[in-house]
Amino acid sequence: MSRPQEVNDFITKHSPNAICNKCIAQGLGWTNDAAHPAQITGALATTNDFNQEAGACVICKGNKKVIRRV
């Protein structure tokens, strides 16, 4: 599975909750050396299927930039 597809599936799995980039990376088991998910979530956010905004992450409860499936 491609990385964008993995991210897409991970966010969809947590829908309708929003998740931050860090928790996406951790949830997918990506190391710090791996491609950062920010680029992927940024691309997903340009589609009609996803919304990226400031809010609370459902996993780490942090208030930061999060993405959710619309």
Nearer Cβ to Zn ion, position 11 or 57? 57
What residues are paired with 53 via a beta bridge? 66
CB of 19 to Zn ion, least distance (A): 6
CB of 44 to Zn ion, least distance (A): 16
Q: Kindly state whether residue 58 participates in binding Zn ion, applying the rule CB under 5 A.
A: no
Q: Kindly state whether residue 59 participates in binding Zn ion, applying the rule CB under 5 A.
A: yes
- C-alpha closest to that of 36 among 64, 10, 4: 4
Among 7, 11, 18, 20, binds Zn ion (CB under 5 A): 20
Can you tell me the distance from the alpha carbon of 32 to that of 25, in angstroms, rounded to the nearest whole number? 8
Under 8 Å between Cβ of 34 and 25: yes
